[in-house]
Amino acid sequence: MPILDRFNLTGRRALITGGSRGLGLEMARALGEAGAELIIAGSDETHLQNAHTTLRGEGLTVTTIRADLSKPEEAERLCNVLLRDHPPIDILINNVGGRRINTPTEDLALEDWQRILDLNLTQAFILTKRIGGAMIPRKWGRIINISSINALWPGKAMRGRSYETSKGALTMFTKAVAADWAAHGITVNAIAPGPFLTDANKRWIGERPEFESEVATSIPMGRWGSPEEIGPLALYLASDASSYMTGSVLVIDGGKLLW
Ligand SMILES: NC(=O)c1ccc[n+]([C@@H]2O[C@H](COP(=O)([O-])OP(=O)(O)OC[C@H]3O[C@@H](n4cnc5c(N)ncnc54)[C@H](OP(=O)(O)O)[C@@H]3O)[C@@H](O)[C@H]2O)c1
């Protein structure tokens, strides 16, 4: 098969959680341009509508579904809707996550710890179990979990360690499920992004403008990542191009972890 044909996703349906903005939107666009039919889930109806209008305007096929994935029961409800109304789903990108909180561990409230674990880990478990589980009889599937370089390295800028812990657990969950489901033709990999200029980080920069240059100078490439730079990596993992890769954690960080 010609090399570029291995990246073709025609006939595949992809679910991207948090596909309405930031990295999720760019991964959705990349998969859509490669031919996939897109389903994007997010918590805010206006953001979903904006993404729908943008992607449809680019000629892509896209369905939107609202669900607040910080709540496990909403993740279950989303799965019920997807399995009933939109089967089969071939590609799952568990991208929703974030909400770092700069609270030292000694002061961190249990409910804040639990909230961040539910947002970064529990919903990804539920979606993997239900949507990924439905891939097993079909003998083909791609699951991509969006972790973070902070799964591998705590860093010193923030002290709400629930984020690093939940991303670390998501990374090990990736490897464990990859081992279990390799025999079913399902690959499970993680992407560990470094600093990208998305709304979440723009908010931090808004609160502390020097953060932007502090981070840029801490990266060997000397700059933040641009959200569209994650698209080709997601496409690789979503397609037949990555047929022999499973259980891997791919770092994309401009070299940040080298220093
Ligand atoms: N940006 C970075 O530098 C960076 C670095 C390492 C890892 N990551 C990881 O990459 C992923 C995406 O980050 P990002 O920077 O693109 O985030 P973002 O700009 O904040 O976008 C997050 C996306 O998730 C959706 N979302 C947020 N909370 C949700 C909820 N409770 N239920 C359903 N959808 C929800 C948002 O839509 P709504 O607002 O409509 O809900 C949006 O589509 C996260 O897992 C993050 O931890 C990012």
Cβ distance 94 to 121 under 8 Å? Answer: no
HEC readout, 151-167: HCCCCCCCCCCHHHHHH
User: Whole-angstrom Cα distance, residue 140 to residue 185?
Assistant: 5
Closest approach atom of ligand 1 to CA 97: 45
Check pocket membership of 238 for ligand 1, CB cut-off 6 A. no
* Domain range list for the chain: 3-197+230-252
> Hey, which residues are catalytic here?
163
Closest approach atom of ligand 1 to CA 25: 43
Q: What is the pLDDT of residue 100?
A: 80
For 87, phi then psi, to 5°, come to -80, 155
Check pocket membership of 201 for ligand 1, CB cut-off 6 A. yes
CA of 35 to the centre of ligand 1 (A): 24
Q: What is the pLDDT of residue 101?
A: 86
Check pocket membership of 254 for ligand 1, CB cut-off 6 A. no
Q: What is the pLDDT of residue 160?
A: 79
Check pocket membership of 246 for ligand 1, CB cut-off 6 A. no
Which of 43, 65, 164, 249 has most ligand 1 atoms within 8 Å of CB, for mutation?
A: 43
CA of 119 to the centre of ligand 1 (A): 10
Residue-wise pLDDT tens digits, 205-230: 999 999 999 999 999 999 999 999 99
Check pocket membership of 24 for ligand 1, CB cut-off 6 A. yes
CA of 183 to the centre of ligand 1 (A): 31
Cβ distance 231 to 60 under 8 Å? Answer: no
Q: What is the pLDDT of residue 157?
A: 73
User: For the domain 3-197+230-252, what is the CATH code?
Assistant: 3.40.50.720
What strand order describes the sheet that includes 91-94? 62-66, 37-42, 13-17, 91-94, 141-146, 186-193, 249-252
Check pocket membership of 44 for ligand 1, CB cut-off 6 A. yes
Closest approach atom of ligand 1 to CA 193: 6
Which of 15, 16, 17, 20 has most ligand 1 atoms within 8 Å of CB, for mutation?
A: 20
CA of 22 to the centre of ligand 1 (A): 7
CA of 180 to the centre of ligand 1 (A): 28
Check pocket membership of 50 for ligand 1, CB cut-off 6 A. no
Residues of the chain with pLDDT under 70: none
